[in-house]
Amino acid sequence: MPVLTTAQAIVRFLEQQYIEWDGEEIPFVDGMFTIFGHGNVLGLGQALSEAKRLRVYQGKNEQGMGHAAISYAKQNNRKRIIACTSSVGPGSANMVTAASVATVNNIPLLLFPGDIFASRQPDPVLQQVEQPHDLTLSTNDAFRPVSKFWDRITRPEQLMTSLIQAMRVLTNPAETGAVTVSVPQDVQGEAYDFPESFFQKRVHRVSRKVPDERSVKEAAALIRSKKRPFIICGGGVRYSEAGESLKRMAEAWNVPIAETQAGKSAVESTHEWNVGGLGVTGNLAANTLAPKADVIIAVGTRLADFTTSSKQLFRDENVEFISINVSEFHGVKMDASPLIGDAQAVIEALVNETGDYTSEFKKETEEAKTAWAREKERLYSIRYTEEGFTPEIAGHLDEELQEYRKVLGTDLAQTTALGIVNREIDEDAVAVGAAGSLPGDMQRLWESSQKYRYNMEYGYSCMGYEISGAFGAKLAEPDKEVYAMVGDGSFLMLHSEMITSVQENKKINVMLFDNSGYGCINNLQMGNGMQSIGTEFRHRDEAKDEMCGSVMHIDYAKVAEGYGLKTYRVTTEEGLKEAIADAKKQTVSTLIDVKVLPKTMTGDYESWWNVGVSEVSERESVRESFEDKEKQLQQARKY
């Protein structure tokens, strides 16, 4: 039996993990992101220095490297991962957000945070959080509520059962998410006679589970009894690689396909039955058709509030739900009839069972798509005019728009700029996004003519994923151009992995849309009767002691230039086109600083979102907003 430290055993075990998908065998763990500190450098750090296959990546922020690992797994459709290790204390705490992102989005993420001493001899060790009522607690206990599997290794021999269970969760489509194996720094260096069998090659076979025949027959009968079925394409379609099967189902039945953020690009945007984004950030076509549907076929989706418009979008009095999902937990949401199984396998079984069924939704679908196509062209063609210009989000900062125009030096509308980016980049380029107003614009407007070209983290809507995620996507597809679609608010939150992209010679392109503020949340507060407070990037007015001074102008291109990126400053349509064209010629990462006017993002389309409006306020507009929320709630389903 080999005598190895606990850390060496971790590395050796990970190098022998494989995944089998549709007969193809793939190494599962490609490497490990790390920021070394006293809690892991002499344990896992020493072991990684002797690794035979795992590549070591140097992160710059623990949350950022976690996001990069998540995006890498997402872009590989959950078939490959990069693990992460951090030091004890703040290094571990920084990764908690990334763990949340992975778990919410059902993306495999393997974390090895360093921990305090199991022996307790030096307590309190540097960076240790002490709780007098429970000496076993450490920072790493914060991972418990956001992990699908959590363990702490206090003896080397515990590692064997722990890592086998960790792999079970990581490779299970129904359970996958963040897996946290916490390793005290003294235990990392302890040696043990591990059995050779523990390090044998392990192949984790992901099978396409099929539901029982009776459930399929009942679902098919329900569909045949309906006239207007409506398909929701969720992330499960992508990870099952079931896009072709879903298209055949839509074509056979003449049924529209609407997309969630996670499901977008599993079916090409150009497909005749793809009506685009659904729900709160959905477009006119999908949100016009959804309320008319009499049966919703939800495929691989969690049916989150943005997809369902807080359960208010599906308004036919006889509407029923069928949910195709590998997870029983998600499969019974909205009181759906569950078909628990792999999306591709279930779709094919369902199509076979329905025979020659055809819906009566074709004409309405065509009309809705035509209307949306006209509206989309309008949004892509907005031009600012000094006289009589009305922004898409009107009535909020109309009087301040001239000030923004002067400070930012731009007349560009956000929707127009986004249209230029979408049309000018390569068709096989990958677009990555996460939070702010851009995800809404992108779910509505972005067209992907090829599969898996859209990598959006919107389950957790985590600011800071965009640039780190772009780097992770580039590691997954090094021969493709990758674009981080990021607002100025998210850029300020987390952009450190730009440096890692330069360090690794993995070019990413950062498309930074700067409207000098948290525009999405400003829309939310002002759209619900509040005044603007704390969401615009303004200097503090010392006399009033409020952030209501002049609009800030920040030169983000200069920041990125200092990091070693090729940068561009853009304030016109022609300038944006020229910058994109030149950026394609570069071999180093690029940043295009695009100044856009606030309130020129897309508005809502026949959707509603249940948010916590104040029931009591001095402002009449807030009270009116609360009353409107109560009226909308009356139309929404209760569960």
CA distance 347 to 74: 22
User: Could you count the other beta carbons within 10 Å of the beta carbon of residue 343?
Assistant: 30
CB count in 10 Å sphere of residue 68: 31
Q: DSSP 3-state helix, strand, coil percentages of the chain (rounded to 5)?
A: 40, 20, 40
536-576 pLDDT, tens digit each: 999 999 999 998 999 999 999 999 999 999 999 999 999 99
Residue range 390-411: mean pLDDT, rounded: 95
CA-CA distance, 229 to 292, in Å (whole number)? 9
Measured distance CA(153)–CA(43) in Å, rounded: 13
**Which class for 465: exposed (0-12), middle (13-18), buried (19 or more C-beta within 10 A)?**
buried
Q: Sign of the CA dihedral 75, 444, 468, 421?
A: positive
What pLDDT score does 253 carry? 96
Residues contacting 400, CB < 8 A, separation 6+: 551
Inter-CA distances, 431 with 201, 334, 493, Å: 35, 31, 19
Cα–Cα distance, 273 to 327 (Å, whole number): 26
Summarize pLDDT for 197-242 with one digit per residue, the tens: 999 999 999 999 998 999 999 999 999 999 999 999 999 999 999 9
Q: Tokens for 371?
A: 């209307």
Alpha-carbon distance 177 to 366, whole Å? Answer: 38
Residues with Cβ < 8 Å from 231, sequence gap 6 or more?
246, 249, 250, 255, 256, 257, 258, 297, 299
- What does the angle CA 76 – CA 77 – CA 78 come to, to the nearest 5 degrees? 90
**Cα-Cα-Cα-Cα dihedral sign, residues 290, 292, 296, 302:** positive
Residue 485 has pLDDT above 90, yes or no: yes
Structure confidence at residue 543 (pLDDT): 92
Rounded CA separation 456/469 (Å)? 9
Q: pLDDT tens digits for 346-397?
A: 999 999 999 999 999 999 999 999 999 999 999 999 999 888 899 999 999 9
If you average pLDDT over residues 9-19, what whole number do you get? 98
Mind giving me the DSSP string for 85-119? EE-STHHHHHHHHHHHHHHHTT--EEEEEEE--SS
Which residues, 6 or more positions from 329, have their beta carbon under 8 angstroms from its beta carbon?
Answer: none
Over residues 496-509, the pLDDT tens digits come to 999 999 999 999 99
pLDDT of 2 reads 87
Give residue 592's region: left, alpha or beta (phi > 0; psi -120 to 50): beta
Q: Percentage of residues in the chain with pLDDT exceeding 70?
A: 100
User: How confident is the model over 234-285, as pLDDT tens digits?
Assistant: 999 999 999 999 999 999 999 999 999 999 999 999 999 999 999 999 999 9
Q: Which of 380, 402, 632, 414 is nearest to 528 (CA)?
A: 632
CB-CB contact of 509 with 590 (8 Å): yes
Question: Has residue 1 got a pLDDT over 80?
Answer: no
Give whole-number Cα distances, 617 to 125, 281, 529, 608, in Å. 49, 28, 10, 22
Residue 242 CA to residue 265 CA, distance in Å, equals: 11
Q: Taking residues 521-538, report their average pLDDT.
A: 95
What percent of the chain shows pLDDT beyond 90? 98
pLDDT, tens digit (0-9, with 9 covering 90-100), for 582-593:
999 999 999 999
User: Which has the closest alpha carbon to 320: 287, 347, 294?
Assistant: 294
- Amino acid 430: pLDDT: 98
pTM, 2 dp: 0.97
What count of other Cβ atoms lies within 10 Å of the Cβ of residue 476? 24
Q: Which two tokens stand for residue 369?
A: 């798509």
> In angstroms, rounded to a whole number, what is the distance separating the alpha carbons of residues 164 and 149?
11
CB 267 within 8 A of CB 447: no
Question: Residue 541: beta bridge partners?
Answer: 546
* 281-to-285, 309, 399, 482 alpha-carbon distances in Å: 12, 9, 26, 23
CB atoms within 10 A of CB 318: 8
Which contiguous run of DSSP H or E holds residue 456? strand 454-456
Tell me what the mean pLDDT of segment 85-102 comes to.
97
Predicted confidence at residue 347, as pLDDT, reads 97
